[in-house]
Amino acid sequence: MKQENSEDKKYLFDKPASMKILAWSFLLSLVLLLALEFFIHKHTHFPSEEWPEFYCVFAFVGFVALVLSAKYILRPLVKRREDYYD
């Protein structure tokens, strides 16, 4: 009986409301971070670092490039069946 209860139990992120709060706070942080850029004075080492929103763009583009190249280039090259070495 107790087992069934725990199966039905709603946990933190099962609730749509908590996901909604999480999503909105994340979006708000993104906007805030984009805006902050214009209020700080950067000490840069390289010219590219001075581009507006350099870190935001670099992270986003770098992340997408990493994941897609791993998916479409590396995986087809190296993926083998699980028993490949057996």
Partner 1 sequence: MTDVLPPAAIFIIGGLMVPLIKGKWKSAYMLLIPVVGFINLINIPEGTHWVVGFMEYDLIFGKVDRLSLLFGYIFHLISFIAILYAIHVKDDVQNVAGLIYAGSALGVVFAGDLFSFFVFWEMLTVASIFLIWARRTKAAQGAGYRYLLVHAAGGLCLLAGIVLYVNQTGSIEFGYIGLNGLATLLIFLGFGVNCAWPLLHPWLTDAYPEATITGTIFLSAFTTKCAVYALARAFPGTEALIWIGAIMTAFPIFYAVIENNLRRVLSYSLINQVGFMVCGIGIGTQMAINGAVSHAVNDILFKALLFMSMGAVMYRTGGKINCTALGGLYRTMPLTCICCIIGAASISAVPLFSGFVSKSMVMSAAADGHMQIIWFILLFASVGVLEHAGIKIPFFAFFGHDSGLRPKEAPLHMLLAMGIAAFFCIFNGSFPNYLYSLLPYPVEYVPYTVPHVVGQTQLIFFAALAFILLTLSGMSPPEMRAVNVDADWFYRKGCGLFYRVMDISMNGLTRVADRVIVGELTGSICRISQRWPEVLCLGVMIPLWSITGVKGKKLDGKIERTRAALQTHTSPIGISAAIATIFLVLIYLLM
Distance from the Cα of residue 59 to its chain's centroid: 9
42 binds partner 1 (CB under 8 A): yes
> What binding mask, one character per residue, do residues 65-84 give for partner 1 by CB under 8 A, x or -?
-xxxxxx--xx-xxxxxx-x
Choosing from 6, 8, 17, 52, the residue that interacts with partner 1 (CB under 8 A) is: 6
Q: How far is the CB of 1 from partner 1 (least distance, A)?
A: 16
Extract the tokens encoding 39: 């209020």
For 54, counting Cβ atoms within 10 Å of its Cβ (0-12 exposed, 13-18 middle, 19+ buried), the class is middle
Extract the tokens encoding 3: 């087992």
Q: How far is the CB of 64 from partner 1 (least distance, A)?
A: 5
24 binds partner 1 (CB under 8 A): no
